[in-house]
Amino acid sequence: MQHPTYQHEGVKTNSAFPIPEKMKAWVLGNPEELHLIEKVVPVPKRAEVLVRVDAIAICATDLDVISSGPPAMIQGGLPFNKNFTPGHEYMGTVVALGPGVDEFAIGDRITVEIHAGCGQCKRCRMGMYTSCHNYGLNYGDVDKGHRANGFTSDGGFAEYAINNINTLIKISDDMSDEEATLVVTAGTGMYGLTELGGLIAGEGIVVMGPGPIGLLGVAVAKALGAYPVILTGTRDNRLETGRELGADYTINVRKEDAVKKVREITSGKGVDYILECSGAPEAINEAGLMLNRGGKICLAAFPHDPALIDVAHLVRNNIYIYGIRGEGRSATHRAHAFMAEKRFDATKIHSHSFMMDELPKALHYARNRIDDAIKVVVKMPQRQAELAKSKTL
């Protein structure tokens, strides 16, 4: 049935999930300026659905977008003062189906990927939609069909969002909203390990940087059978979380020489793989020294400054370097499968929760790591009201 306030040709809705004409949404003004306004609820097109956003996690890249712009690109340029809503690590409920959509049903709980490539360029046809040649070309007469929610199109710091069906993963009712927001983070770690070779059972790996991606990278590597799994970082409490997620060894780089310790753990040989999640200036050089000859490095962080790299060492030792963007090659689906099977508990990195109208405070906690914030989740009022009602029945 159509809801009387949200009627659009070819779009299916259901009275069990009423949709208003307007919604609350945070939009980006000048750098570091977010405003809570009312926006018209968007309308799904072919191969799209309307998602009621139920919860959204804050990513470090969101903080970069809000403060400086890149990697967001709106209408061919910086995202400021363009009525743009950031945020990309969200989950929610399907409440409307675009024309012809039958892959999902209204009422499905889902979590999302970020990128829907154009589907027609060389990279998209290879399954590398996070490297779409038409990135950001999704407006006006140059609309190639590319979408990256929270980067080139509106994201999830709002009550509703549009998603391509290729970006959705159906989740079961026993997965909490908070855990579901973490699937994309685990998917990034999974993507990195996929590019390194995928089957890493019995092979050693160092994960550099115990941020959200690094910590869940540890969990995914352990679930894939890697040994030893070594986590390096600067905060003992973060390293302890890494141990809870499967790290066999942890190294505080402020207290120990990480390269020397890795060599000691591996009887002088070094590890087979590095998942670099710190973005530190010396990370690539240190990674190269931790590796066995012929090893592989995957770069999963955005360094803020160029780094001076000892290329000769990498060449002499036949070391391979890969860079990944986001959570490509459907890695989120594989990460979700691990989480659904309880192969690891991603909620160990969820540290704080706030409501939608508290987003500036939530961003402050995430940016400044207040109370050692790791992953901050923002909850939506309509979902909280629904949960409260279900508890009284």
Q: What are phi and psi of 368, to 5 degrees?
A: -100, 5
CATH assignment of the domain containing 74: 3.90.180.10
* 366 and 313 share one domain: no
- 3 belongs to a structural domain: no
- How many structural domains comprise the chain? 2
Same-domain check for residues 220 and 316: yes
**What six digits make up the tokens of 2?**
């159509």
Last residue of a domain, one of 291, 323, 355: 323
Among 288, 323, 358, the domain-final residue is: 323
Contacts of 337 (CB under 8 A, 6+ apart): none
pLDDT, position 1:
40
At 315, list the tokens.
């060449």
Can you tell me the distance from the alpha carbon of 285 to that of 310, in angstroms, rounded to the nearest whole number?
Answer: 6
| C-alpha–C-alpha distance, residues 225 and 201, integer Å | 4
Pair (218, 313) in one structural domain: yes
SS3 375: strand
Q: Which DSSP letter does residue 338 get?
A: H
In this structure, the answer to whether residues 308 and 354 fall within a common structural domain is no
Q: Are residues 237 and 309 located together in one domain of the fold? A: yes
- The mean pLDDT of 380-392, rounded to a whole number, is 84
Q: Per residue in 65-102, pLDDT tens? A: 999 999 999 999 999 999 999 999 999 999 999 999 99
**What is the secondary structure of 141-190 as a DSSP string?**
GG--S-EEBTTTB--SSBSEEEEEGGGEEE--TTS-HHHHTTHHHHHHHH
CB 19 within 8 A of CB 95: yes
| Structural domain span for residue 190 | 186-323
- CA end-to-end span of the chain, whole Å? 25
- Predicted TM-score (pTM) of the model is 0.93
Looking up residue 281, the CATH number of its domain turns out to be 3.40.50.720
Alpha-carbon distance of 41 to 226, in angstroms, equals 45
Q: Residues with Cβ < 8 Å from 223, sequence gap 6 or more?
A: 246, 338, 343, 344
**Contact by Cβ (8 Å): 163, 46:** no
List pLDDT tens digits, range 316-342: 999 999 999 989 999 999 999 999 999
- pLDDT of 147 > 80? The answer is yes
User: pLDDT tens for residues 302-319?
Assistant: 888 888 999 999 999 999
